[in-house]
A and B are shown apart, each in its own frame.
Chain A
């Protein structure tokens, strides 16, 4: 079975190459659903027509085109594909923990399209995820926005090409532990984290200046200027200063969040999202005024000291203060039920259905700069859709089908149990893992850690 699937994937990959890496786009008509558009309210008994991967029409009594699948969704709930603004799923490695700034590395280089976790995320309604570099460094690597087109062997097919560039920053305990305590270099403190970032930005300004000088003079007669040395790390930092990347910053405490807001203000950087941001609720007015928002956990706390003074009401406080707020997973486990994580904001702070759903759809889309393409059910948007048997914020909700670009990648009724795309030939017996790991923010920094400190809680 798996061999056939592998072959099919290989053929698909070859076909994709032939057709210049065109990712599959589907046609489908979903009829009589309760459509949770997120941005335009709830539409009862409504049809959604998808053509060539795009939502063509939302209405009633729509008819399917020729050879188009028509799905009777009576009694079911259709919502936009869930977007996870913080994930490490389908990445072979996460941390380039060798320096406090490693802006030159890219997560697009380490996408693993074979990760069965992709299918499991789809089975939980997640269609888009932001694959982040880890949190070992004050400035980490470039992250990558993925669309979960499972079944391909080509990492490029998983990439969401429309998404702008993003980069990981990290404050607090992780960078100070890895570099300060682990390697005896800056940063050891939150003071040092600020200094490392300011130094990096200033170096990038110098770099820009020397290139500008060189470019202005290189054609001139008698110019003796030699070109500055190309430096990918400084190129990326320079691009951040030019507003070409969105910063997603791992952060917990209110003071460090406030610090980075000030640093970014000083350097004229306004594309800034805070992630985890457990104490975001303490600086909610500042987050609302100066940032693209906060991406939080529904209820995680107390796994390390900097999250001891957290509250599960964080998302509710942020929303009440008009912060663009999302709920993310940072976990191969949680990414399978973000609809449930969003539902928890109704217990902890009484958010409305639309508010709660926005946390996992349009709001993360805004934070990733992809809200014109995905994050709501609107005509013209990409057809990333999930069909539930009941309202997705109910604990009893079970996803039934998940579509990416109108192509069905999950169907609870028809899918095989085993969804691996490849099986290791060196593995005689399939390994069994008791504590499936879902703590990846500090993945790959074992070498720098004191023994026994790594696996507990490494977010």
Chain B
């Protein structure tokens, strides 16, 4: 037992100095808020360049001050000498919190029954105590869009901070309505429909959407005129997409479907919209740019959609979209491995997007798409103190994440993955022959 304890101390002292919180037996580590002075780090502000040897003061959940030699007063000082401070990374398309164990139906809360269920709220089904949340946030991913799936209008997505004990505490200020645009592509190699069936299904789905949209416009109009309407929660929610109150998040991937989507959005005069997925965006990047539609794309680490495609089609997609002038955000589309967001950004960077733009694609760009650029996505005075501290480039696998703050809360740098490491690195008893 003694040996076991000693090994834990050695571990904490040498192997993972990033764990500024020791996991002491029986002690529970909780996030806590207060006044924090991050002293002497290089601030990677994203919007205002890199500020070497600069202090950052956190108070009341906000970045109160940025500058040289800020007086600590009563703040808890965190020495950031030789470290880097980044705004929290935002994953703009995930299932995090909506599923606990992928294959178990009992834990799948992302797809409701029905083709048209825009009133299904991701925010009410998000499990604030999902084991994947601490696993994710210690990587510097602090904020994610949790998106329902399935059907034409699967529900309402919500942006959440990865800290809080109730969904309302986690809510980060953006909701959007996903629309799965009728696809002329196959859903996978197991999709054995004939070409004609695929086309027919897509045509029918589009007609369905058009009818629904007309109804929703009608609903919004009658509602605005003060008409007494029957209880129709699906339409009530969809109406808010027609008026632009909620952003329409149009999931579309195949090139010709993207073109059709652009045309559809124009026909319907929808301006508050973003394209998501956009796997073949690079084929029609100019058209997306001309339509002034922002794009949430990913995963970057994906197989090309066609066998004839160049091997790096998915890696280079974000870069090509950016070069065409499209505002690009990157998503993982993952649940338990949203922590791979920085690596998706790293691959996009290496294959044409560049490091600076890749960083924007997981910080300020999604903040802009979600209309939260005054609160998130960069290190600026007055913005939310949602940030993390590293010993290097956060996209590099070698880099360690030392501290994470979410809305001014200092996050314990532990998770079940780290606790298992601490317990089993040197198991006791070891081998008994």
A residues within 8 Å of B by Cβ? 116-117, 119-120, 123-124, 281-282, 284-286, 288-289, 299-305, 308-313, 316-317, 320-321, 332-333, 336-337, 340, 343-344, 346-350, 393-398, 417-420, 428-438, 446, 453-457
* CB < 8 Å neighbour of A349 from B183, B340, B343, B421: B421
Q: Give A302 Cβ to nearest chain B Cβ, in Å.
A: 4
Q: Which 10 A-B pairs have the closest CB atoms?
A: A395-B346, A436-B303, A313-B421, A285-B431, A343-B397, A302-B336, A417-B310, A303-B102, A432-B185, A311-B420
Distance between Cα atoms of A15 and B304 in the complex (Å): 33
Flag whether B424 is at the interface (Cβ < 8 A): yes
Is the CB of B26 closer than 8 A to any CB of chain A? Answer: no
Tell me if B68 counts as interface (CB < 8 A to partner A): no
Q: List 13 A-B residue pairs with CB atoms under 8 Å apart, sorted by A's residue number.
A: A281-B420, A285-B431, A302-B336, A303-B101, A304-B101, A313-B420, A316-B421, A317-B425, A336-B311, A348-B421, A431-B186, A434-B254, A438-B303
Contact status A456-B103, CB under 8 Å: yes
Known contacts A284-B424, A346-B397; is A302 also within 8 Å of B254 by CB?
no
Q: B189 contacts the other chain (Cβ, under 8 Å)?
A: yes
| Given A395-B346, A432-B254, A347 and B421 contact (CB-CB distance below 8 Å) | no
Within B260-300, the residues touching A (CB, 8 Å) are: 277, 279-280
State in angstroms the CA–CA spacing of A301 and B350 once bound together.
27
Q: Tell me if B349 and A396 are in contact (CB < 8 A).
A: yes
Q: Smallest Cβ distance from B134 to chain A, in angstroms?
A: 12
Are A120 and B303 in contact, with the CB atoms below 8 A?
yes
A434 & B185 in contact (Cβ 8 Å cutoff): yes
CB-CB < 8 A to B350: which residues of A? Answer: 395-398
Contact indicator B311/A453 (Cβ below 8 Å): no
Name the residue on B nearest A114 (C-beta). B307
- How many B residues face the partner with a CB closer than 8 A? 67
Residues on B with beta carbons closer than 8 Å to the beta carbon of A417 = 308-310
Q: Say yes or no for B427: interface residue by CB 8 A criterion.
A: yes
Q: How far is the CA of A24 from the CA of B131 in the complex (A)?
A: 51
A457 and B102 contacting across the interface, CB-CB below 8 Å: yes
- Other 16 A-B pairs with CB < 8 A, given A343-B398, A395-B397, A434-B188: A281-B420, A299-B340, A303-B336, A308-B101, A313-B420, A320-B425, A321-B427, A348-B417, A350-B400, A417-B309, A420-B308, A434-B183, A436-B305, A438-B303, A456-B102, A457-B103
Q: Which residues of A contact B310 (CB under 8 A)?
A: 417-418
B306 at the binding interface (Cβ < 8 Å): yes
Contact A432 B306 (CB under 8 A): yes
Are A437 and B100 in contact, with the CB atoms below 8 A?
Answer: no
Q: Are B103 and A347 in contact, CB atoms less than 8 angstroms apart?
A: no
In the complex, B187 has a CB within 8 A of chain A: yes
Min Cβ gap A117→B in Å is 8
Nearest-CB distance from A284 to chain B (Å)?
7
Instruction: Indicate whether A311 sits within 8 Å of B421 (C-beta atoms), given known contacts A343-B398, A347-B399, A433-B186.
Output: yes
* Given A282-B427, A396-B346, also A317-B102 (CB < 8 A): no
B335 beta carbon closer than 8 Å to chain A:
yes
Asked whether A437 lies within 8 Å of B188 as measured between CB atoms, the reply is: yes
A436 and B190: CB pair below 8 A?
Answer: no
CA distance A438 to B349 in the complex (A): 24
- Is the CB–CB distance between A332 and B431 below 8 Å? no
- List of A residues within 8 angstroms of B187 by Cβ: 433-435
Residues on B with C-beta less than 8 A from A419 are: 311
Separation of A303 and B104 alpha carbons in the complex (Å): 8
Tell me if A305 and B101 are in contact (CB < 8 A). Answer: yes
CA distance A69 to B426 in the complex (A): 50
Is B425 in contact with A432, judged by CB distance below 8 angstroms? no
- Does B323 make an interface contact (CB < 8 A)? no
Residue B351 CB within 8 A of the other chain: yes
B398 touches A347 (CB 8 A): yes
Task: Confirm or deny: B223 has a beta carbon within 8 angstroms of a beta carbon on chain A.
Answer: no
Chain A nearest CB, measured from B385 CB (Å) = 24
Asked whether, in the complex, the Cβ of A302 is within 8 Å of the Cβ of B190, the reply is no
Centre residue among A284, A302, A346 by max chain B CB count within 10 A: A302
**B185: A residues at CB distance < 8 A:** 431-434
Partner pick for B186 among A428, A434, A457, CB 8 A cutoff: A434
Report if B175 contacts A (CB, 8 A): no
B329 to chain A, nearest CB (A): 19
Q: Hey, which chain B residues are within 8 Å of A429, CB to CB?
A: 195
Chain A residues with Cβ under 8 A from B335's Cβ?
302
Cβ contacts under 8 Å, B254 to chain A: 432, 434
Of B15, B253, B343, B395, which one neighbours A434 at CB under 8 angstroms?
B253
Measured between beta carbons, the chain B residues less than 8 angstroms from A453 are 103
Select the residue from A321, A333, A396 with max chain B CB neighbours within 10 A. Answer: A396
Which chain A residues border B191 with CB–CB below 8 Å? 433
Q: How far is the CB of B38 from chain A (nearest CB, A)?
A: 22
- B360 adjacent to chain A (CB < 8 Å): no
Distance in Å: Cβ of A6 to nearest Cβ of chain B: 14
Least CB distance from A360 to B in Å reads: 13
Query: What 0/1 pattern do residues 89 to 120 of B give for CB contact below 8 A with A?
Result: 00000000000111110000000000000000
Q: Is B205 an interface residue (CB 8 A)?
A: no
Interface contact A437-B190, CB-CB below 8 Å: yes
Complex alpha-carbon distance, A320 and B426, angstroms: 8
Q: Given A432-B280, A437-B188, A455-B190, check contact A333 B303 (CB 8 Å).
A: yes
**Interface contact B424-A317, CB-CB below 8 Å:** yes
Closest-by-CB residue of A relative to B195 is: A429
Nearest to B355 among chain A residues (CB) is: A396
Q: Across the interface, which residues of B come within 8 angstroms of A340, CB to CB?
A: 343, 347, 397
Give Cα A174–Cα B298 distance, bound, in whole angstroms: 30
Q: Which residues of B have CB within 8 Å of A303?
A: 101-103, 336
Distance of A262 Cα from B132 Cα, bound (Å): 34
Residue numbers in B under 8 Å from A336 (CB-CB):
303, 311
- A206–B424 alpha-carbon span in the complex (Å): 41
Interface-centre pick from B301, B349, B431 (highest chain A CB count, 10 A): B431
Instruction: Given A285-B431, A350-B15, A395-B397, decide whether A302 and B132 contact each other with a Cβ distance below 8 A.
Output: yes
CA distance A331 to B337 in the complex (A): 16
Q: Is B222 an interface residue (CB 8 A)?
A: no
Say yes or no: A285-B430 contact (C-beta < 8 A), given A302-B131, A312-B417, A455-B190.
Answer: yes
A383 vs B104: C-alpha distance when bound (angstroms) = 45
A349 proximity list for chain B (CB < 8 A): 15, 421
Bound Cα distance A206, B172 (Å)? 67
Contact (Cβ within 8 A) B397 A393 = yes
| B418 interface residue per 8 A CB criterion | yes
Nearest-neighbor residue (CB-CB) of A286 within chain B: B431
Query: Judging by beta carbons under 8 Å apart, are B311 and A119 in contact?
Result: yes
Bound Cα distance A447, B162 (Å): 40
Contacting residues of chain B (330-371) with chain A, CB-CB under 8 angstroms:
335-337, 339-340, 342-343, 346-347, 349-351, 355
Tell whether, in the assembled complex, residue B308 and residue A430 are in contact, meaning their CB atoms are under 8 Å apart.
yes
* Residue numbers in B under 8 Å from A347 (CB-CB): 397-400
CB pair A432 B305 closer than 8 Å: yes
Tell me the nearest residue of chain A to B425, going by C-beta.
A317
Q: How far is the CA of A328 from the CA of B407 in the complex (A)?
A: 38
A286 to B433, CA, bound (A): 9
Min Cβ gap A457→B in Å is 5
Chain A residue contacts of B100, Cβ below 8 A = 302, 308
- State the CA gap A245–B101 with chains docked (Å): 35
Given contacts A302-B131, A395-B346, A395-B347, whether A437 and B103 have CB atoms under 8 Å apart is: no
Contacts A398-B350, A455-B188, A457-B103 given; indicate if A333 touches B421 (C-beta within 8 A).
Answer: no
Cβ-defined partner of A304 (8 Å) among B103, B132, B304, B305 = B103
